[in-house]
C-alpha cells in the first residue's frame, strides 16, 4: 500500500478499535480511565507518523461513535475531554518546543480541560462528590504520570512497533 492509503487504513482500524474500547470502557468502570488513556495512544501514533490530522479525525470519529454506541455518555465525555485530543497535541508540542515549555503548555491544556469538565458536570447537575480543588490536586501527578507513560510508549513505538504498523516508511 502507498503511504497515504496506508495511513488512512491504519487510522480507520485505530478508529474502530477506539470506538470499541469506548463502548467496552462503559461496561468496565474500574478500568475505564486506564483504557481511555491507552486508547489515546492511537491518535498519538498517527500524529507521530506525520498524520496529525488523521489522528485528530480518528479521535473525533471514535468519540462520535462512542456517543452513539455507548450507554454511558458521560464516560465518553471523559475520553473526549482528556484523552482523545491529547496524543496529537503531545506529538506536536514535543516537535516544536523544549521539554519544559511543552510540559507547561500541556499542563495548562490539561487544567483547562479539567476546569471545563468540572464546570460542565456542574451545569449538567452531575454530583462529582468532592470539591473541585481535590480534583485539581489529584489531577496534577496523574497528568504527569500519563504524560510520561505516553512519551515512553511513543518511544517504544518508534523503536519496536513502527515497522509492523506502518511498514517502516513515513
CB of 102 within 8 A of CB of 93? yes
Q: How far is CA 68 from CA 23, 71, 76, 122, 155, in A?
A: 10, 8, 10, 23, 33
Q: In the predicted model, is pLDDT for residue 117 greater than 90?
A: no
Per-chain mean pLDDT for the chain? 88
Structural domain for 18, as ranges: 3-165
Across the range 40-57, mean pLDDT stands at: 89
Answer whether residue 98 is part of any domain: yes
Answer whether residue 94 is part of any domain: yes
Across the range 24-31, mean pLDDT stands at: 86
Across the range 136-142, mean pLDDT stands at: 91
Answer whether residue 63 is part of any domain: yes
Answer whether residue 170 is part of any domain: no
In our burial notation (b when 16+ CB lie closer than 10 A, e otherwise), range 19-45 reads bebbbebbeeeeebbebbbbbbbbbbb
Answer whether residue 26 is part of any domain: yes
pLDDT in tens, 53-93: 888 999 999 999 999 999 988 889 889 999 999 999 999 99
- For the chain, the domain total comes to 1
pLDDT of residue 16: 94
Amino acid at each position: 500500500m502507498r503511504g497515504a492509503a496506508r495511513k488512512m487504513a491504519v487510522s480507520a482500524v485505530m478508529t474502530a478499535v477506539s470506538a470499541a474500547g469506548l463502548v467496552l470502557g462503559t461496561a468496565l468502570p474500574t478500568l475505564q480511565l486506564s483504557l481511555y488513556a491507552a486508547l489515546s495512544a492511537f491518535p498519538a501514533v498517527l500524529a507521530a507518523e506525520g498524520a496529525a490530522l488523521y489522528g485528530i479525525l480518528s479521535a473525533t470519529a471514535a468519540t462520535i461513535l462512542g456517543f452513539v454506541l455507548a450507554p454511558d455518555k458521560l464516560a465518553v465525555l471523559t475520553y473526549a475531554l482528556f484523552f482523545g485530543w491529547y496524543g496529537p497535541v503531545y506529538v506536536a508540542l514535543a516537535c516544536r518546543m523544549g521539554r519544559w515549555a511543552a510540559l507547561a503548555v500541556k499542563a495548562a491544556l490539561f487544567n483547562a480541560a479539567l476546569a471545563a469538565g468540572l464546570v460542565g458536570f456542574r451545569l449538567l447537575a452531575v454530583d462529582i462528590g468532592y470539591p473541585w480543588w481535590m480534583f485539581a490536586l489529584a489531577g496534577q501527578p496523574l497528568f504527569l504520570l500519563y504524560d510520561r507513560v505516553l512519551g515512553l510508549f511513543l518511544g517504544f513505538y518508534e523503536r519496536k512497533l513502527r515497522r509492523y504498523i506502518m511498514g517502516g516508511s513515513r
